[in-house]
Every structure is written in structure tokens, then in C-alpha cells.
Amino acid sequence: MDYMKEYTRWLASDVITAEERAELESIADNKNEIESRFFSPLQFGTAGLRGVLGAGIYRMNTHTVAQATQGLATLILTHGAEACKRGVAISYDCRICSDLFAKISAQVLAGNGIRVLLFDAMRPTPELSFAVLRYHTIAGINITASHNPKEYNGYKVYWEDGAQLPPAEADTVAREIEKTDIFNGAKLADFDRAVADGTITYLGAETDEEFLSNVMSQAIDPKAVEAVADEFSVVYTPFHGTGYRLVPEALRRLGLKKLICQPDQMVPDGTFSSVKSPNPENMESFALAIDLARENKVDVIVGTDPDADRVGVVARSANGEYICLTGNQTGILLLDYIINARKSTGTMPEKPAFIKTIVTSEMPRAICNYHDVECADVFTGFKFIAEKIREFEPDGKKYLLGFEESYGYLVGDYARDKDAVTATMLIVEMAAKYHAAGMTLVDALESLYQKYGYYAERTVNVMMPGVNDLADMKRLMESLRNDPPKDIRGVKVTAVRDYLTAERREMATGAITKTHISGSNVLYFELEDGSRFIIRPSGTEPKIKIYLLISGADHESCAKRVELLSDGIDDIKGRI
């Protein structure tokens, strides 16, 4: 694409706003900035769009959102009048322009004769998934960039099953986007007129109540909280996001009396003014919450990301230190708790199962083997967990928990995307149960390591900003695929799984077998010491993600292996 030609086209357009024109004129002498905005359109994948806010085809703005929505509308129109009548549910988070992008999306759908159910204010992502199922809509749109920095926004599309858009439908939308002129290709209805004639209707408190009812139905042993309600305490922070209303309400309904919400971060704010990053994966994000917890000697801190689909946990240890749990560790604790709580309450299904992603810790497999629970591996992304849940149903299998290492958890059948509202409720129930036994979550985790074995994990992001990021990522993956490393810092590679081609190759013999799943650009290196070294490009940001999965005789040996293999990442980066 001729980026200067596209830049000039935007400047000449009478569709862009005065603010957008001024923004583009301000970079007239900055060729690199022009190229970064116009070298390529944002790519529409199975998760939709995500990018930095601003003017340009490689930015999130009203034009890219309208163009994407027209692509979705065209897909829905091919499903006929009934699909249009079923309509599309739309929600949004606290980010800059999220409400505007939601309104534009509603106008485009209405302009195509498609019914719209628009939330009257920002809502958690899992409630959007719930709404798609509850109201039987053909699709859903959520305006969010999850836990990305404040400069980002995104456009997430769901299909009628409440999960993110399947690959075939996503490909159709992507093709339709390419055919749609970014300035005049979308059909926009007048918003107020569409509301007046009922094409656009609002979802409000009644949907919240039904969603919360389903959330509370996932509690396994509410009496665990009741038993320690006068002494057990929790600090909660939504990091200025959508969890600020429903998460505290769910915890209060659970019976939690001593709940302290971080007051500064209970205020919705798309600039996330009180945190460096609204990401519960980062310890520094919890700084204010930890200060509040120390002042009040609180037992557990929970924090949900801006769209409340991910949750992080900071637990107070026996000596009063606050320790940030990883997404893997929280999931491990939840899995073991759910299994044991189901057994003790007599609610364990006949065919229990658990679902994780291939980049998630292997410790859950040890837990499942111990308890005779099926453990299934899927690709990264909750849409694959949702697919596996559907696959289980004809065989009468009932999943207990699905989780991925990136702080996402799901239980129940009311939604098909990760849900920090329910996860937070179950984390608090679990922590209360351990509190009654005189244990912190840190104590509980250590007891699980002693029971099931020692494991450690690390995820490293190799950032690739700039106009050549996609080409650099492609070149790196091709290099590793065509010439895989024979060892990583002296630890021999025994086999390589290529999940794109569905082949697993033994390094010593060259023997090839098939992987159980295929179709994702992931390379999985099996090492001689039992460790795993996994590499994949991010689907939402310009970066390569590298995962280290370790097991060992004790914490010390695991830590040493993690550091050794982490050094090997420099060797991988050298191929870029």
C-alpha cells in the first residue's frame, strides 16, 4: 500500500473531523509517523480489532470501527431476515472513545436493518457474552482493549454461542471490510431516530440482575464465607474499569462483610490516572491497593482489568508480606479448590473435566490425574475453551473450570468468555475456606506444591514496534520452523511440535507424528529435562510471546531452570 497516497486521501476527505485533520497535519513532516499510521489497515482477526487510538487506517477511530461493523453487518445479512431480527448486543468499557465507538457500531447495524441491544452504560465483557446467550442475538460487539495501555482501544466480536467470532465468520468479516470504503462504505442510521423506532433498544439493570443471579449460582460453599465473615477481609480494585459495580455487589451477596474498595480506582477513568498500567498481571498496578491492605491488615487483594474479564490476586502471607500470585497459581488454587469443594458438597458431576491452554502450567494436569478428572488442552484464546465446552456436551462431560495463564477463568454455562466477576467471587470463597483452616492462599499454594509436585512458569514478551513488526514476527517464526534450535542454553531439544502444520518431530530420529490440535502459529519445543519452551506471535499486539513451563524436585531447582531458559530468549531474539 502507498502510505503517502492514503495519507493524502485522508487529508483531502470531507468526512474526517477538524480534530482529525489537525492531528494529521501535525505529522506532515514526520514520514515515519505517517508510515506507521497508513502502511496497512488494522487486521481483523477472530478477536476483532485492537490498536492505538488516532487518525489513520492502522489506528482505532470512528472510521475503522464503522468499516468493521459494516463487514459484520454484511455477514449477518447473509443469514437472512431472522438473523437481523435477532440482532446484535453491544457493550463497552471505560476507555477513551469506547462509548462513541459503541454508538457508531449501533448506527451502522441499524442502518443495515439489524436490531441492536445496546447497554445503557459500560459493562463487564462477560456480561456481553451472557447477553448474547440470554437474548439469543446473532452476534455481539464489545468495545474494549482489555488490559492494554490507555493509548489503545479495541473492537471484539462475538457470535451466537456467546464466544468470540469463529475463524470462518471472522474471515468473512475481514473480506467484507476490505471491500468497504473506509469513508463512505458503511450505512449509518440516525441514532435518535433508530432509538425512537425501536431498532436500537437499551439493556440496563434487568440484565445486570439476571447476570448476577447466574454469577451467584456458581458459588459452591457460601457458608465458607459466612463462617469467617466477622474477621476475613478483602480489598478490591477495578483499576478504574467496569468491575466497579458488579464485583462488589457479588461479594456482598456472597456474605462478605469486610470489603474495602480502593476509592480512587472505583472511579471510571479511561486514562487510568492512578496506575501505570491497568493490568492485573503487573505487581505495580496493585500499589494503592496494597497500601490500603497494609493499613487494614487485609487478607486478600483482588483486582479486575478494565473490562472485568481478567482478575489478579495479591495474598497476605503468614508473616504479613503481600505476594502477587501469577495467573497460573491462581488457576491452580481454583482448580484444586473446586474439585475438593464439589466432592465435599456432593456436587461433583459424573464426568468431570478441566480445560486449559497449551501455554498454561502443566501442574493442573497433575491435579486432574490425582482426582481422575479429564484434562484437555486447547490453543490460546477463550474461544477455544468455549469450543471444547461444546464438544464435551454430547458425551455428558461437565467442565469444572477453564483457564489460561493470562489471568482468565470461566465456570458455568451462562457465558462463553472469561469472567472476572464470577472468578473473584470464587477466589474469595476459596480464600475464606482456607482462612477458616488457619491458612493463607500462600500457605495453600505451598501445600499443593508439596502434594502434586513443584512447577514454575514464566512468560516473556518480545516487543516488535514499528512498521516492520508483522514482517519481523513472520521472519522469526519461519527461521525457527525451518531451522529449530538443537538446544536452548545447553538443554537439548528432544522434539518440536508445530501446531500450524500439526506435526510433532523427534529431533534424534526425525520421526513425525500428528499433534492433537492444529491450525495455530505456535512452536512448542520439548526439552530433555522435561521443560517446555513455547513461542507464538501475539494476536493483538506487535510482540512475540515466549512461555517457559518448568517442573522440578523443589522450588530452587525450578527457579534455576527458569533463569537458564530465560537466558536462551536472547538467542531467539538474535534471529530477528
Q: Cβ(461)–Cβ(544) under 8 Å?
A: yes
146, 233, 361, 520: which is the annotated catalytic residue? 146
What are the CA-CA distances from residue 448 to residues 60, 451, 454 (Å)? Answer: 44, 5, 9
Give 480-491 as a DSSP string: HHHS--SEETTE
DSSP 8-state code for residue 166: P
CA distance 65 to 23: 18
Give 452-463 as a DSSP string: H-EEEEEEEEEE
Q: At what angle do helices 243-254 and 205-216 cross, to 10 degrees?
A: 40
SS3 495: strand
Amino acid symbol at 482? N
DSSP 8-state code for residue 357: E
Question: The C-alpha cell of 246 is what?
Answer: 458488579
Helix (DSSP H) and strand (DSSP E) numbers for the chain: 20, 23
CA distance 266 to 495: 49
Please, which residues have CB within 8 angstroms of residue 508's CB and are 6 or more apart in sequence? Answer: 494
Compute the CA torsion angle 143, 149, 151, 156 (nearest 10 deg): -20
Question: The C-alpha cell of 361 is what?
Answer: 502450567
Q: State the pairing for strand pair 311-316/322-324.
A: antiparallel
Question: The C-alpha cell of 512 is what?
Answer: 513425525
Question: The C-alpha cell of 272 is what?
Answer: 487510568
SS3 506: strand
Residue 191: count of CB within 10 angstroms of its CB: 17
Question: The C-alpha cell of 381 is what?
Answer: 484464546
Q: Cβ(134)–Cβ(207) under 8 Å?
A: yes
CA distance 144 to 69: 15
CA distance 492 to 529: 8
Which ranges of 414-533 does DSSP label H, i.e. alpha helix? 420-436, 441-452, 469-482
- Residue 527's nearest CA partner among 501, 557, 553, 497 is 497
Partnered with residue 116 across adjacent β-strands are: 88, 200
Structural element, H or E, at residue 52:
strand 49-52
SS3 257: coil
Sign of the alpha-carbon dihedral angle for 65, 67, 70, 71? negative
For residue 414, with 0-12 CB atoms within 10 Å meaning exposed, 13-18 middle and 19 or more buried, which class applies? buried
CA distance 313 to 138: 35
Q: Is 146 one of the catalytic residues?
A: yes
Phi-psi region of 80 (alpha: psi -120 to 50; beta: other; left: phi over 0): left
CA distance 70 to 111: 9
Catalytically active residues are 146
